[in-house]
Amino acid sequence: MAKLGKSLTISVQVPHILPAPVIVARSNHVATLPSRVAAIYTKSLDVKMFKIPFAFPAYEVSMTWHERTHLDPAGTWLRGFIKKVCDAI
């Protein structure tokens, strides 16, 4: 932003991206989201999607689960499936 001569004020931080589009739709805020996520919300909320005018750094996607379900076959399958889908994108 500074290279573009712009400043940025962070007024809301969320623990994950899912509430961000709802906050944007109900306020005068903007959010930076992966385009795949933003595109979904443009169909169901009164928000618009724009490309950012600068390169955005890479980010990490992670999963968290309780230790007692670590060896559960259904949980293991689901985590593997999610990883496979994310790796393909």
Q: Tell me how long the chain is.
A: 89
Domain count, the chain: 2
Integer Cα distance of 83 and 25 in angstroms: 30
Low-confidence ranges of the chain (pLDDT < 50): none
Q: Tell me how far apart the alpha carbons of residues 22 and 19 are, in angstroms, rounded to a whole number.
A: 5
Whole-angstrom distance, CA of residue 78 vs CA of residue 34: 22
Q: Are residues 29 and 46 in the same domain?
A: yes
**64 and 81 co-located in one domain:** yes
Please indicate, yes or no, whether residues 48 and 5 belong to a single structural domain of this protein: yes
